């Protein structure tokens, strides 16, 4: 972390005194949500807020999420970002850091962070799933703060009838009357006390449900999203409806095309996006990338269509305008780099205009003049991580991150758009890392990729900003 900070200072000084190869840290001016690729905050860092929620407060949006690490699944903290447009995010702070002991102490897990402002007290209350590294000591914990972006104080386990709730995945929902609810995997719905600091009663149990619950309300109807149990792997999420929170809850089916695995994501929250006199439920999903969650996990945010008891996200928009709620093409003014201008080691194979390699250390080089590059490639079950870097004319590496090329079904899409640089000459490096996402669940079932392929379909360079 100290090294990264020093590098940022150097880059800033270079920029101020006329140096080249400086990251501008300018942000997306087109107000476009870019799904499935890294987002960058005001500091030029990848937005690290997983299992997240959004709170609208005093005309500003606050994003809370898991501050993931690439080294371990152990809890390093919960992050907070803010924005005035839901696209350009400012890093506020780690609002709940690693604790010296207790349910979020060393070698513990902290997940699914959710924040609500309590109407009766004005206090901001944070909820989370806390656990040991083996997921055998679960708690629903809570923390409080007087300001939305201050340092939250962990209060301990949330109690119901004097006892902690020993469960895993959770979510929250705040109804239009200000009542708060705790949503638990596999069905329990609890009504919180007036101060949100304890549970008043269990109001419902959704039979046949799953994990990662997320609830929203539209036209007097309640909708509950769940995912199936596939560890970090994506699956076809599904939903229930009810005329009131108490039920009866009716299973309706999937809300994305079957087999698309919820566009390679898992539900975490539904944010009520206000547009004019209407409120559009915005699905928020995670593209987990175990074990490299901090650098390579991304997000899928999409508007949900609602008609009676039927909801759907009928097609995937990799890019969409947050104001018009319509898909856009932000790559149209990019310049495609011809294959003949791409240099690559002999372990890369060219076939029908695409370049493919699964040899660790295999490098592809593209020299370009401009401010950004986009890498389009295919993800599939045989792929791994690529290391994507930008080098300036002094041969300094000014940007580098891992990019995940794995998915359970083939998907050709943009894998990364690099941060904006000052217009200059640069070299893009794409290196086969030899690392693949692979993991097991509690039953020791193996998930993830069976190889480390990286497939590049197209590389585009840009003279002007298209994304942060």
For residue 440, the model assigns a pLDDT of 83
Which range (2-11, 74-83, 309-318) has the least confidence?
2-11
Give the pLDDT of residue 444.
83
pLDDT exceeding 90 applies to what percent of the chain? 88
Look at residue 223 and tell me whether its pLDDT is greater than 70: yes
Q: What is the mean pLDDT of residues 14-40?
A: 65
pLDDT in tens, 64-96: 999 999 999 999 999 999 999 999 999 999 999
Looking at residue 122, what is its pLDDT? 98
Q: Which CATH superfamily is domain 335-462 in?
A: Galactose-binding domain-like (2.60.120.260)
In 3D, which of 148, 170, 175 has the Cα closest to residue 157? 170
pLDDT at 352: 83
Residue 353: its pLDDT value, please? Answer: 84
Identify the pLDDT of residue 464. 74
The whole-angstrom separation of Cα 293 and Cα 54 is 20
User: pLDDT tens digit string along 351-399?
Assistant: 888 999 999 999 999 999 999 999 999 999 999 999 999 999 999 999 9
Q: Is the pLDDT of residue 4 over 50?
A: no
Task: Provide the pLDDT for residue 278.
Answer: 93
- HEC per residue, 286-332: EECCCCCHHHHCEEEEEECEEECCEEECCCCCCEEECCCCEECCCCC
- 8 Å CB contact between 181 and 173: yes
Quick one: pLDDT band at residue 28, thresholds 50, 70, 90?
A: low
pLDDT in the model for residue 465: 59
Domain ranges of the chain: 30-327, 335-462
Kindly provide the residue ranges of all beta strands, DSSP E only, lying in 118-179, ordered along the sequence.
Answer: 124-132, 139-145, 153-157, 159-160, 163-164, 170-174
Residue 29 has a pLDDT of 58
pLDDT at 408 over 70: yes
pLDDT at 445: 86
Domain 30-327 bears CATH identifier 1.20.1530.20: no
SS3 463: coil
Mean pLDDT of the chain: 92
Query: Hey, what long-range contacts does 338-344 have (CB within 8 A, 24 or more apart)?
Result: 341/366, 341/367, 342/366, 342/459
Considering the chain, what percentage of its residues have pLDDT values greater than 70?
93
| Residue 64: predicted pLDDT | 98
pLDDT of 248 over the 80 cut: yes
pLDDT single digits (tens) 140-178: 999 999 999 999 999 999 999 999 999 999 999 999 999
Query: pLDDT tens digits for 330-352?
Result: 999 899 999 999 999 999 999 88
For the chain, counts of helices (H) and of strands (E): 3, 39
pLDDT tens digits, 190-208:
999 999 999 999 999 999 9
Q: Please say if the pLDDT value at position 293 is more than 90.
A: yes
Name which of 367, 434, 353, 361 is nearest 395 in CA terms.
Answer: 367
**Rg for the chain (alpha carbons), in Å?**
22
* pLDDT for 456 beyond 50: yes
The answer, yes or no, to whether residue 250 has pLDDT greater than 50, is: yes
Segment 98-124, tens digit of pLDDT: 999 999 999 999 999 999 999 999 999
**Proportion of the chain in helix, strand, coil states, percent, rounded to 5:** 5, 50, 45
pLDDT, average across residues 401-430:
95
pLDDT exceeds 90 at position 227: yes
């Amino acid at each position: 972390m100290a090294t990264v900070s020093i590098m940022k200072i150097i880059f800033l000084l270079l920029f101020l005194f006329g140096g080249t190869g400086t990251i501008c840290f300018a942000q997306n001016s087109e107000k476009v949500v870019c799904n499935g690729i890294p987002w960058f905050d005001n500091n030029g860092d990848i937005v690290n807020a997983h299992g997240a929620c959004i709170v609208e407060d005093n005309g500003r949006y606050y994003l809370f999420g898991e501050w993931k690490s690439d080294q371990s699944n152990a809890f390093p903290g919960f992050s907070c970002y803010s924005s005035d447009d839901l696209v350009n995010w400012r890093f506020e702070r780690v609002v709940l850091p690693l604790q010296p002991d207790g349910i979020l102490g060393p070698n513990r897990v902290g997940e699914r962070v959710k924040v609500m402002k309590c109407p009766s007290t004005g206090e901001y209350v944070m909820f989370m799933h806390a656990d040991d590294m083996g997921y055998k000591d679960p708690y629903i914990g809570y923390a409080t703060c007087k300001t939305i972006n201050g340092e939250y104080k962990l209060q301990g386990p949330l109690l119901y009838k004097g006892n902690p709730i020993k469960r895993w995945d959770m979510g929250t929902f705040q109804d239009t009357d200000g009542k708060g609810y705790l949503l638990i995997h596999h069905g329990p719905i609890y009504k919180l006390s007036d101060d949100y600091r304890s549970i008043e009663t269990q109001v419902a149990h959704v039979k046949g449900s799953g994990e990662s619950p997320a609830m929203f309300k539209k036209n007097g109807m309640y909708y509950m999203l769940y995912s199936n149990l596939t560890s970090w792997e994506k699956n076809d999420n599904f939903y229930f409806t009810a005329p009131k929170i108490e039920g009866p809850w009716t299973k309706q089916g999937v809300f994305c095309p079957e087999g698309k695995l919820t566009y390679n994501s898992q539900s975490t929250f539904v944010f009520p996006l206000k547009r004019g006199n209407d409120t559009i439920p915005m699905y928020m999903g995670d593209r987990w990338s175990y074990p490299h969650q901090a650098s390579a996990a991304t997000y899928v945010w999409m508007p949900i269509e609602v008609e009676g008891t039927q909801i759907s996200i009928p097609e995937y928009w990799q890019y969409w305008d947050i104001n018009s709620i319509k898909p856009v093409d932000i790559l149209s003014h990019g310049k495609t780099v011809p294959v003949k201008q791409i240099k690559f080691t002999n372990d890369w194979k060219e076939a029908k205009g695409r370049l493919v390699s699964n040899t660790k250390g295999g490098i592809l080089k593209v020299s370009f003049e401009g401010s950004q590059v986009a890498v389009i490639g295919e993800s599939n079950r045989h792929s791994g991580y690529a290391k994507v870097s930008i080098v300036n004319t002094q041969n300094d590496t000014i940007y580098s991150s891992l990019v995940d090329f794995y998915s359970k079904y083939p998907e050709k899409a943009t894998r990364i758009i690099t941060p904006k640089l000052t217009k200059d000459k640069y070299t893009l490096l794409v290196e086969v890392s030899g690392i693949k996402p692979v993991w097991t669940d509690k039953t020791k079932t193996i998930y993830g990729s069976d190889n480390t392929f990286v497939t590049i379909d197209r590389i585009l360079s840009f003279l002007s900003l298209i994304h942060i």
